[in-house]
Structure 1
Amino acid sequence: MLQIPFIRDNRDATLAGLQKKRFANAETAVDQVLALDQQRRDTQKELDDVLARSNAMAREIGALMKAGQKAEAETAKAETAQLKTRSKDLEETLKTVEQQLQAVLVTLPNLPHSSVPEGRSAEDNEVVLQNGAVPTLAEGALPHWELIKKYDIIDFDLGNKITGAGFPVYKGKGARIQRAMINFFLDQALQAGYLEIQPPIVINEDSGFGTGQLPDKEGQMYYITEEKLYLIPTAEVPITNLYRDVILADDQLPVKNAGYTPCFRREAGSWGAHVRGLNRLHQFDKVEIVQIRKPEESYEALEEMSRYVQSLLQKLELPYRVLRLCGGDMGFTSALTYDMEVFSAAQQRWLEVSSVSNFESYQANRLKLRYRVEGKTQLLHTLNGSALALPRILAAILENNQTPEGIRIPEVLVPYCGFDRIS
């Protein structure tokens, strides 16, 4: 959540940032925030003055009664009663204004970092680098949705029978390679200094608000009505919320957590060839990395996290590229995001497999996540990244490594799988 003092002191910069993110009606929303903030401060000042006058009158009444000035004391009591009525009215007004201010403030997305390029959609994202040779497959090569049928490793029909579309059943070597990737990604995270966390996979509304899924993404999450809980869209949400309403000591920083969870996304409105097979699912597995850093360290940490995710892709022998997302394609809470995409040879297209983002203080402000600096508290910066999401990684492995003898397993996964080929 944006900080009101920043908006107040930097109206033009706030507007420019919101416009870069293609936020509609930016000027109206910002001016509404500023007007409500001024009303809130004016009301608070009047309330403070009334309470101060009321306290002074209470002391005066005591002095008048002690001096035997009963008539004057009664007059003072009448004024005190009026002050109490006024203070109650002001408290109600203040509560209403604060609620109105909060309601507008939570609709404002995070402001983009200065390095974020202008643009409206994915077509305007900036390619930062590309690594690895794009493989050339033999004639007759199959996309992964045909390969999984050929080798009987994933069954979408069974998943549809049990649950519905977008919930595949992995079996045999398909299940084992899933487990292999999860363990490999977790082991790599531990070696990189991350503490493994196994969080709940359902969250309450406060957690959804804390990391910015609510009130922005209700329609994309599965909701448990009776308990008012949500299935998580990513482990970022429960792991980051471990630190909600926390003041960290200096020796507790930086925080580096990693966790594996299933993830659930309704993906409402998705259709077409780009969502076929493993390209887009309602349930999928992912290992997430989360960092909490001091503000002056967060962009160095973002680059570190980007290099770490790239190292995983290199070890999996997958050609990839890194994109810096433009303002119009960025997430609601992000200040800067790098997307990592792998090349899927049979589909002849790039598939996003990771987003690594710096949220600066946006989430921390919602979470009330702080640390102490010279006796005062200051908001921290939060970051997270997919390291990695499994479905599209598996799709690329299956497609890129297909041979007449079967599908070759990347060397780093063989000790985890117990086999070097799917045939």
Structure 2
Amino acid sequence: MLQVNFLRDNKERVLEGLKKRQFKNLELVDEAIAADDERKRIQFELDSQLSEINKISKEIGLLMKEGKKEEAESAKSKTAQYKESSSELKSQLEGKENDLLNILYLLPNIPNELVKSGASADDNEIIFQSHPVEGLGEGAIPHWELAKKYNLIDFELGVKIAGAGFPVYLGKGARLQRALVQYFLDKNVEKGYTEVNPPHVVNEASGFGTGQLPDKEGQMYYINEDKLYLIPTAEVPVTNLYRDVLFDEKDLPIKNTAFSQCYRREAGSYGAHVRGLNRLHQFEKVEIVRIEKPENSYAVLEEMVEHIKEILTDLELPFRVLRLCGGDTGFGSAMTYDFEVWSAAQEMWLEVSSVSNYETFQANRLKCRYKGDGKSQLVHTLNGSAMALPRIMAALLENNQTAEGIKLPKKIAEYARFDVIN
């Protein structure tokens, strides 16, 4: 969430950034500033009345001591009027604070100056590609056919149990999933991340803290009786570990990694691009989360990008890195890099990771600060997928298919304890 003082002091920059995102409701900036002006006016009037009440209360005591009962009673009557008025002002203040908060919740983060203007994924910048790509040629089949051929994943059985988008992994398919999860966690721990095992459900406050609410409410599964949400990513519970926390400067940085099941409704998704493992309602993912001092966050973002590149290199998959344009950057992110792997049988790029710097956007909602040089200030939060399993699995199956079976990359074969699926 943006701070209203930031909107006020940097209005031109804010409007320029929102235009980069193709954000249409620019009037919300003025509405937020106006709401804050009215909030300040009410607060000033309330403070003045409370000060007057305090002053008169002291006078009443003196008047009573001096035996001036009639004057004391008159002062009491005046105090009662002020109290009634101040009570109404408190109600007005609470209403205006809620109005301001609801406006701020609707404003996305301001993109970093390096983020280009753009409307969609077509405007994203390709900043790195591992090597040229091509299809596998005649006879290559997509991963959903490979999964059936080698009895790795049963999509129809998943439909029977839960519905479309909930596959069942079998035999070597399940073992390969487990191997990938362990490999990703180990790689992250080697880079200094502390592994945590968070809940897979969160409350409403946690959803607001990381920006899933109110922006993505329709994409989350909701448990009505308990008022809990199934997590769309481990980013949500892990980042919320630090909600309402004031760090000492020496405690930073914080580096966490977590494995979780992820649940997304993906409402409205359909077509060939969502077939097989391309888009699911439940999937496995390993996440990395960073809590950083503001001056370090962009160097850290580049460090995280290099970490993901190293993982994909180990997986021996053709990949590319994109810096997202304003219109394709997530609601709370100031800058995002997407990683895509080449699906050789489908002959298309599949997104497998996003790494983002949220600057103070989440921290402001979370009230996550650190104290240094005698003052407290908001931290910067960053997160990324390291990695999401389904499309990695799809690319591994498709890109490594041979006449003898599917040959796994060396690193993963060591974890899976088999090197060929046949």
Same fold (TM over 0.5): yes
The amino acid across from 2:407 in the alignment is R
Aligned to 2:21: 21
Q: Is the 8 A contact 1:337 1:356 kept in 2?
A: yes
1:103-118 map, 5 Å: 103-118=102-117
Does residue 81 of structure 2 align to residue 82 of structure 1? yes
C-alpha RMSD of the superposition: 1.0
- Structure 1 residue 226, shift from structure 2 partner: 0.2
Indicate the residue corresponding to 2:6 in structure 1: 6
**Residue 163 of structure 1 aligns with which residue?**
162
In structure 2, what is the equivalent of residue 197 of structure 1?
196
Counterpart position of 1:272: 271
Contact 1:132 1:318 in 2 (8 A): no
Q: After superposition, what is the alpha-carbon deviation per residue over 1:342-385, rounded to whole angstroms, capped at 9, x for unaligned?
A: 11111111110000000000000000001102222110000000
Structure 1 position 392, deviation (Å): 0.5
d(CA) in 2 for partners of 1:198 and 1:70? 68
Q: Tell me the distance in 2 between the aligned counterparts of 1:415 and 1:314.
A: 16
CA–CA distance in 1 between the matches of 2:133 and 2:199? 39
What is the CA distance between 1:139 and its match in structure 2?
A: 1.7
Q: 1:36·1:100 contact (CA, 8 Å) conserved in 2?
A: yes
For 1:137 and 1:80, locate their aligned partners in 2 and report how far apart those are by CA, in whole Å.
85
In structure 2, C-alpha distance between the alignment counterparts of 1:74 and 1:165, rounded to whole Å: 75
Report the counterpart of residue 48 of structure 1 in structure 2. 47
CA distance in 1, matches of 2:227, 2:75: 51
Deviates more, 1:310-319 or 1:71-80: 71-80
Say if 2:29 is the partner of 1:30.
Answer: yes
State the Cα deviation string for residues 173-214 of structure 1 (Å, max 9, x = none).
100100000000001011000000111101111111100001
Show structure 1 runs of 5+ residues with no match: none
CA distance in 2, matches of 1:68, 1:226: 62
Map 1:306-345; keep pairs closer than 5 Å: 306-345=305-344
Show the 5 A alignment for 1:121-270: 121-270=120-269
Q: Give, in whole Å, the separation in 2 of the partners of 1:403 and 1:220.
A: 38
Letter in 1 for 2:191: A
For residues 63-78 of structure 1, the aligned pairs below 5 Å read 63-78=62-77
Q: Letter of the 2:222 partner, please give it.
A: Y
Distance in 1 (alpha carbons) for counterparts of 2:135 and 2:326: 34
Deviates more, 1:72-81 or 1:291-300: 72-81
Match of 1:120, SS?
coil
| Equivalent residues, number | 422
Task: Provide the residue aligned with 1:420 in structure 2.
Answer: 419
**8 A Cα contact 1:135 1:400, kept in partner:** no
Q: CA deviation at 1:31?
A: 1.2
- Which runs of 5 or more structure 2 residues have no equivalent in the other structure? none
1:314, CA displacement in angstroms? 0.3
Give the match's secondary structure for 2:113: coil
Distance in 1 between residues matched to 2:50 and 2:385, nearest whole Å: 52
Once the two structures are TM-superposed, the CA of residue 69 in structure 1 deviates from its matched residue by 2.3
Q: 1:105 deviation in Å?
A: 1.0
Q: For the residues of structure 2 that align with 1:417 and 1:69, how far apart are their CA atoms?
A: 91
Q: Take 1:14 and 1:166, find their aligned partners in 2: how far apart are those partners?
A: 39
Which whole-Å CA distance do the structure 1 matches of 2:404 and 2:131 have between them? Answer: 24
TM-superposed deviation, 1:387: 0.2
Q: Confirm or deny: 8 A CA contact 1:356 1:383 kept in the other structure.
A: yes
CA distance in 2, matches of 1:20, 1:132: 30
For residues 339 and 14 of structure 1, the distance between their equivalents in structure 2, rounded to whole angstroms, comes to 24
For the 8 Å contact 1:113–1:335, the answer to whether it is kept is yes
Given that 2:19 and 2:117 are in contact with CA atoms closer than 8 Å, whether structure 1 keeps it comes out as: no
- Counterpart-to-counterpart distance in 2, 1:92 and 1:218: 29
| Structure 2 CA distance for aligned equivalents of residues 132 and 314 of structure 1 | 11
Q: Which amino acid aligns with 2:9?
A: D
Residue type at the aligned position of 1:67: E
Distance 1:383 1:208 in 2: 16
**Deviation for aligned residue 1:135:** 4.9
Deviation track 1:242-278 (CA, whole Å, cap 9, x = no partner) reads 0011111222210000000010101000011110111
Where does residue 347 of structure 2 map in the other structure?
A: 348
1: CA distance between counterparts of 2:365 and 2:239?
11
* d(CA) in 2 for partners of 1:169, 1:281: 12
1:72 shift after superposition: 2.3
Q: Write the letter of the residue equivalent to 1:155.
A: D
- TM-score (norm: length of structure 1): 0.98
In the aligned structure 2, how far is the partner of 1:400 from the partner of 1:247?
47
Displacement of 1:133: 4.0
- The 2-side partners of 1:299 and 1:224 are apart by 37
CA drift at 1:75 = 2.2
What amino acid maps onto 2:75 in structure 1?
A
Correspondence 1:60 to 2:59: yes
Alignment of 1:406 onto 2:405: yes
Q: Percent identity?
A: 61
> Secondary structure of 2:395's match?
helix
Deviation above 4 Å: which 4+ runs of structure 1?
none
* Aligned-partner residue type, residue 14 of structure 1: V
Q: Which amino acid aligns with 2:25?
A: N
The Cα offsets for residues 125-165 of structure 1, whole Å up to 9 and x where unpaired, read as: 01111113425524211111111111111000100011100
- Give the deviation of 1:70 after TM superposition: 2.5
- Inter-partner Cα distance in structure 1 for 2:165 and 2:125: 30
